[in-house]
Amino acid sequence: MEKYGTIRINLDKLIKEANISKNKLSQRAEMQRTQLNNYCNNSISRLDTAVLARLCTVLNCEIGDLLEFIPAEETHAE
CB 23 within 8 A of CB 53: no
Separation of alpha carbons 7 and 32, rounded Å = 22
Tens-place pLDDT, residues 45-71? 899 999 999 999 999 999 999 999 999
Question: How would you classify residue 54: left for phi > 0, otherwise alpha for psi between -120 and 50, otherwise beta?
Answer: alpha
Residues 2-77, CATH architecture: Orthogonal Bundle (1.10)
pLDDT tens for each residue of 13-36: 999 999 999 999 999 999 999 999
**Contact yes or no for 47/53 (Cβ under 8 A):** no
Report domain extents, the chain. Answer: 2-77
* pTM (2 d.p.): 0.85
